[in-house]
Chain A
Amino acid sequence: MPKRRLEHGSVEAEVPAAGLISLTDVMGSLVKVFVLTIPFIVESGIFISRSMAAKLNRPIQQKQVKTDVKVSIHMRADGIIELNKKPVTQEQLEDLVPKLLARSIEKNALLSADPEVVYENVVQMIDFLKSKGAGDVLIMKRGG
């Protein structure tokens, strides 16, 4: 039925319809783009250790926690990152963490930070550790 109408229709009448169809396509595309970008808008979560966070008020020595832990990171307020109590650069960290995690059975990592460290930086470190294969990131207060 619509085809027959088009055959008899004038050129003037077809122009606005074609424009509106393009508009429909554009709106359809926008909705599709929006649906595809939902994962980047909606909040998700990264797990932190279930076992260690309860003990946050009590400083714990690394040896007391897990002997299998090969990666212990401390983030200092001045921006310096310590890996197993030695200051390292970002490049060294990226190189060493996967190697150390490979030596561990449970692949857990300890993470502590000075109180003044910005939360975003801590999350980035957790993200980094997980992306390098850490099974569980144990959040803890640094022992003396």
Chain B
Amino acid sequence: MAKAKGGEGEVAQAVFNLANIFAFIFITLIIASKQMFQSTSVEVEVPKARVIEADLEQSLAVSIKKDKTVYLKDKQVSLQELVQLIKSAQEEYKAKNPDAELGEQLVVIRADKSVDWQTVLNTIDAVKRGGSKRITLAVVKKT
């Protein structure tokens, strides 16, 4: 009888450990999800959309925060700097990926949904002047 109870205790302990592992995985997923799928840590609230066209893996992130500051990846830049940095980033990408299908890295504009259109236009313009033709606007899927 005592042996049986001991065996059940082991099972309970194993199940308890399993539950802990699940809880750990779940919490880790929640915390890491954004960092796992984003190429920048700049926090912006992007708009929602039903139509999704682009996978943003390996894209060059240009973020526009609510206060209209512009970031290339995690670095705050002016629009003049952005043009130069995009140029050099694309050259670097082409050198590293000479056989890339479309020849250049996708640039994703991650603008906060509350910024004015002019700010976004100016940034898109700077990206284009940097020689990028493949531009996409970051959105999250509308539920």
Contacts and interface: CB of A to CB of B under 8 A. Distances in A.
A and B associate in one complex: yes
Interface of A: 2, 5-6, 8-10, 13-14, 16-17, 20-21, 23-24, 27-28, 30-31, 34, 38-48, 50, 53-54, 56-57, 75, 113-120, 122-124, 126-127, 130-131, 139, 141
Main secondary structure of the interface of A (DSSP, over half): helix
A27 B116 contact: no
Contact of B4 (A8, A24, A28, A41): A8
Contacts of B137: 45-48, 123, 126
A60 B62 CA distance: 26
Nearest to B4: A8
A47 B135 CA distance: 6
Contact of B117 (A2, A48, A50, A119): A119
User: Closest 6 CB pairs between A and B?
Assistant: A45-B136, A27-B22, A115-B118, A45-B54, A120-B113, A8-B4
Interface string B56-80: 1001000000000000000000000
A122 B46 contact: no
Contact of A139 (B8, B47, B118, B124): B124
A88 B111 CA distance: 28
Contacts of A46: 49, 51-54, 136-137, 139
B135 A50 contact: yes
A56 B37 CA distance: 31
Given A5-B8, A47-B53, A117-B117, 10 more contacts: A5-B4, A5-B7, A13-B12, A16-B12, A20-B12, A28-B22, A43-B138, A114-B117, A118-B117, A127-B142
A31 B47 contact: no
B26 A45 contact: no
Interface of B: 1, 4-5, 7-9, 11-12, 15-16, 18-19, 22-23, 25-26, 29-30, 33-34, 37-38, 46-47, 49-56, 59, 106, 108, 110-121, 124-125, 128-129, 133-143
A10 B5 contact: yes
A73 to B, nearest CB: 13
B26 A42 contact: no
B112 to A, nearest CB: 7
Contacts of A119: 47, 111-117, 119-120
Contacts of B119: 119
Nearest to B114: A118
Given A118-B113, A119-B116, A8 B125 contact: no
A24 B111 CA distance: 40
